[in-house]
Structure 1
């Protein structure tokens, strides 16, 4: 599993390209395990200007992206569960708690939010321990409600939400590039992660508040179209063997969506 090193560096790299232009409105993440609430966006090369630090305690766009990656893991995990790929589903259910949630605990406290450690663990345990489907689905719904209670999306500008979507897609592209290489499936888990992140990025557009959605109608519509055009990159949740997939299309979509956000 490459996630601890690769995903977070990917976010750092995309942030490095956007931070100078926008004073940190893209969506970086914390390093799993270390769980700092403030961190440098990307390592500096000699002679480079230092990028501003990103504070998950106050940066809603970064915070929303972190929550989005948790949702993405859960989305694809439940999709696999519903399709009967139980062992794959178990793997995806473990990762949000093991690798993502710790990076948010300080931010929850700083924001006066309850977090959702208990329902996250409850869902994971119910899948891992082969509880009945009714229990699993009930636990999933309860967890989604708990995540929603911690998300700032209703109070965010359309621009910041769409920038968060762009960053999610950039990481999805990083995942996809590891999952599909040289015309074959090399890591199905990473491919699946990318699928989940893409789905949550698309879903986020439906939750932009009404006033902001009216103001940014054209950018939201174009963003939705750009993401929908990626659908053929994921014809199945469980590809095997030879598989033609092009992560550059996802990178291109992320860049296009960033431009749409900055046009608002």
Structure 2
């Protein structure tokens, strides 16, 4: 199976500037090492303006998105696990630690947060080593609690949370573009990643604090509807053959949601 290390440039590009869906490349973003603490968009063509660096040590919106990518991997991994697709689940359990967590360690330290390396590794090992379902589910619940203890979402504005959701969907579109090509399943793992990111983005709307939710109810409702309109792009977690889906729909949703956030 094709595997790649992901550069979450979607975070920087969405937070720093409005990106039209038609201008976003579906080419996979790759790098040989884990995601860095500082993000900067790739060099632009002459006359274009590059997005500024995004510092995970101080930028709550980008930091929340990074944690969302970890949650997305875990969500789809555990969904596959519960559906009995154990070998597929194992590949998703490996990725949060391999690809993402090391890029957050400096941010955890700068923010005075404990991180969650131990429960992340414990869950991965319990799935990979075929421990009992009770053990796996207990480890997953403990890990979710540990991630929550590191998330700034309770103190964030609705605008910033929704911007974070937009950035997650932009990366989900990149993943989907690798997974589904010309209406055919080209890489089921990347398709599944996109599903996990979409599900976590949707869940984030339910965690906006009450005061902010009241102030931004219209934007939240619209964002929820835009995300739900994408559901038919994932007819199953384990597709084969033809899938009637276009990443442009996810890029468009990400841009629409960014506009909603900026209207608050």
Partner in structure 2 of residue 118 of structure 1:
118
Alignment map for 1:70-85 (pairs within 5 Å): 70-85=70-85
Partner in structure 2 of residue 185 of structure 1:
185
Distance 1:10 1:50, change over 3 A: closer
Q: 1 or 2 for the larger relative contact order (CA 8 Å, sep ≥6)? A: 2
Partner in structure 2 of residue 4 of structure 1:
5
Query: For residues 136 and 174 of structure 1, what CA distance do their matches in structure 2 show?
Result: 30
Query: For residues 10 and 52 of structure 2, what CA distance do their matches in structure 1 show?
Result: 17
TM-score norm. by structure 1 comes to: 0.91
In structure 1, the gaps of 5 or more residues are 20-30
- For the 8 Å contact 2:76–2:193, the answer to whether it is kept is yes
RMSD of the TM alignment (CA)?
2.0
Shift, 1:2, TM fit: 4.9
- For the 8 Å contact 1:32–1:103, the answer to whether it is kept is no
Query: For residues 117 and 72 of structure 1, what CA distance do their matches in structure 2 show?
Result: 16
- For the 8 Å contact 1:172–1:198, the answer to whether it is kept is yes
Query: For residues 239 and 49 of structure 2, what CA distance do their matches in structure 1 show?
Result: 43
SS class of match (1:4): coil
Shift, 1:246, TM fit: 1.3
TM-score norm. by structure 2 comes to: 0.91
- For the 8 Å contact 1:15–1:41, the answer to whether it is kept is no
Shift, 1:183, TM fit: 1.4
- For the 8 Å contact 1:32–1:100, the answer to whether it is kept is no
Paired residue total: 254
- For the 8 Å contact 1:16–1:42, the answer to whether it is kept is no
Query: For residues 70 and 97 of structure 1, what CA distance do their matches in structure 2 show?
Result: 8
Query: For residues 124 and 95 of structure 1, what CA distance do their matches in structure 2 show?
Result: 9
SS class of match (1:167): helix
Partner in structure 2 of residue 149 of structure 1:
149
SS class of match (1:177): helix
| 1:203 aligns to 2:203 (yes or no) | yes
Cα deviation digits, residues 82-129 of structure 1 (max 9, x gap): 000000000000000000001100000000000000000000000000
